Amino acid sequence: MPTIQGASPSAAGRHFHFTLITSSATQYRYAKNLALFLAGAATALAYTAYRRRKALRKPFAQPNLANAASGAEILETRAAVDRLLLTHYGGQRPQDVLPDLFLNSPDNNILRLALEYPSKLALLCERHCTALCDFTGEFGDATALDIGCGVGATTFELSRAFIRVIGLDSTKTYINAAKTLKDRGWMRYTSTTEGELTSEHSSVVAEDIERNRVNFAVVGNLSSIPRDFIGPHDAVLASNVLCRVHDPLKFIAQLQKIVRPGGVVVLSSPYDWKESCTPRNNWLGGFKGRDGKEFQSAERLKAAMKGEFELIAEEELPFLLGREHGRRYEVGLAHATVWKRR
């Protein structure tokens, strides 16, 4: 009976070495079979090499975080975390994000304003939260909940005014990054400058922020906040969440349980509806009814909130969606509304 000894790949993984032992009567037959086997193996290896070369030639597509909940397989990557670190913490070191043209122009240019998005959201909560004006101690320490916190920039900004802040997100890699920033105050990230060229930077939590006030946790479904995090809280912030959850109305309905009477809710969204995140039947707006009537997201949001909440302020806030490279930026415009719990 013939045997094949020492059949093993070479160091390169592309060549196999065999020692064939057989009788003279069957040598031809087994040699033929061996030849067919080697031909098949060579074909398989050639196809594998082709696929690898094709994959290497294919340009890497940066994940579009405008579609933040459109696919866990996209979000759960280091590239997605790097992109969010840049957009969330770029305001601390704008020289790492913006070209000189925008750094040296007036402070009200759109990119500079977009980098301030996390701090502006926190200021909306702080400005309208009456619990922060309580000097009697009746309400105790003011607390805040940041729903859809990403890598935590706004959560840290909230801790400037609120004694305890919890940041929740459904993406584990984002929460891991936020926890790293809480533990050591900084985290490295990579950004593309041009083509295949990249540069290394650090996202930094401001030194005057007390990081021990902040905690982060993963929540699988933001439309159903677990009891452990319900509070109730003095302020609840949900940034770019409404158009990323499966059921926005269900998300809105839970808010009355999460914020205490007299507390505030800040909802900020670009109303960027996508069926990959939210089924079309669940969209708040951005579509026409059967009679041709147009449904606007802002109006339906106000209708859904008016029973338990009073609208006390609204603003249009630019935010940085991403920087594809040093000369291409993507900016969104969020509609921010501030609500007081009746």
Q: Name the percent of the chain lying above pLDDT 90.
A: 68
Biggest alpha carbon distance in the chain?
103
Which one-letter amino acid corresponds to residue 197? L
Closest to 218 measured CA to CA, from 156, 170, 151: 170
Contact present, 46 and 14 (Cβ < 8 Å): no
Whole-angstrom Cα Rg for the chain = 27
Terminal-residue alpha carbon distance, the chain: 88
pLDDT confidence of residue 150:
97
pLDDT confidence of residue 144:
98
Among 100-114, 144-158, 177-191, 310-324, which stretch is predicted with the lowest mean pLDDT? 100-114
pLDDT above 70: residue 113: yes
Q: State pTM to two decimals.
A: 0.76
DSSP H or E run through 57: helix 27-57
Bridge-based pairing state of the strands 197-204 and 186-194: antiparallel
Among 36-50, 180-194, 233-247, which stretch is predicted with the lowest mean pLDDT? 36-50
pLDDT confidence of residue 9:
42
Find the mean pLDDT for residues 294-317: 97
Among 15-19, 81-85, 170-174, 274-278, which stretch is predicted with the lowest mean pLDDT? 15-19
Closest to 75 measured CA to CA, from 89, 62, 56: 62
- Per residue in 151-163, pLDDT tens? 999 999 999 999 9
For tokens 């009073």, the residue is 310
pLDDT above 50: residue 142: yes
For tokens 């597509």, the residue is 61
- Per residue in 243-272, pLDDT tens? 999 999 999 999 999 999 999 999 999 999
pLDDT confidence of residue 231:
87
For tokens 């909306």, the residue is 124
Among 9-23, 60-74, 172-186, 253-267, which stretch is predicted with the lowest mean pLDDT? 9-23
Rounded to an integer, what distance in angstroms lies between the CA atom of residue 92 and that of residue 121? Answer: 15
Name the pLDDT band for 137 (thresholds 50, 70, 90): low
Omega cis (within 30) before 318: no
Bridge-based pairing state of the strands 143-147 and 233-239: parallel
pLDDT confidence of residue 140:
78
Rounded to an integer, what distance in angstroms lies between the CA atom of residue 54 and that of residue 59? Answer: 10
Rounded to an integer, what distance in angstroms lies between the CA atom of residue 72 and that of residue 88? Answer: 20
pLDDT above 50: residue 19: no
Query: How many CB atoms neighbour CB 13 within 10 A?
Result: 10
pLDDT above 80: residue 336: yes
Rounded to an integer, what distance in angstroms lies between the CA atom of residue 84 and that of residue 302? Answer: 29
For tokens 């060549």, the residue is 15
Q: Average pLDDT, whole number, for the chain?
A: 83
pLDDT confidence of residue 101:
82
Find the mean pLDDT for residues 14-40: 44
C-alpha 107, offset from chain centre: 27
